[in-house]
Amino acid sequence: MDFTDKVVIVTGAGRGIGFAYAKSFALAGAQVVIAEYDEQTAAQASEKIKALGKKAIAIKCDVSSETDVNQTVSAVIKEFGKVDVLVNNAQRVPDIRPAEETTPEDMKMAWSTGAFGTYLFTHACLPHMKAKKFGRIINVASMSGVVGDPGTSAYGSNKEAIRGYTRQIANEYGEYNITCNVICPDAMTESAKDFFLPLVKY
């Protein structure tokens, strides 16, 4: 696919599957914005893409912070005048543990960076997409939520909320030529291995 002249924000794109998304869009011609909590990782990811002769910028952003998200989207609009594609990939993952041992902190970590972060970025981008009568939103959920993997009640329930939110946005904004889809990737990155291997004991 050709994404020449398209502006694409990918959250949590400093490494792993998020970086793979960003790199793929860049190779297809897009101007990629790496919105990443770890400033150093974000800068390194951006440099890797630029070393390929492609376009990328890095912006430090905590997806659970309304201020950070709004500032990031405002910076993108100021620099490029639009947001064509948003990939809500960022997600912190709490430890694997039975539901009865899942702490409020576990839930807050999963939901604030996953479902709430997805809401914040979507909410910030929608007015700009609506004004341009074009937008593509891709939300990242997980098969852990779909099948209910034991030990992942915080992470999995949060990912299922993202699937529900995706349906809402798709139904509300289709008339403005804005699509919203969800994917449940099964990519075994190094980060994914750290998450899934403890599930073996279940």
The catalytic residue among 119, 155, 165, 173 is 155
Which helix (H) or strand (E) element contains residue 59?
strand 55-60
Between CA 32 and CA 22 the distance in angstroms is 6
Name the strand (E) or helix (H) holding 10: strand 7-11
Complete DSSP assignment for 44-55: HHHHHHHTTT-E
Tokens 């899942």 — which residue?
102
Burial class (CB in 10 A: 0-12, 13-18, 19+), 104: exposed
Instruction: Tell me, yes or no, if 21 is annotated catalytic.
Output: no
Token couple for 84: 């064509």
Phi, psi of 180 (to 5 degrees): -140, 120
- What tokens were used for 118? 């997805």
Neighbours of 170 (CB within 10 A): 16
> Residue 100: CB partners within 8 Å, gap ≥ 6?
none
Catalytic residues: 155
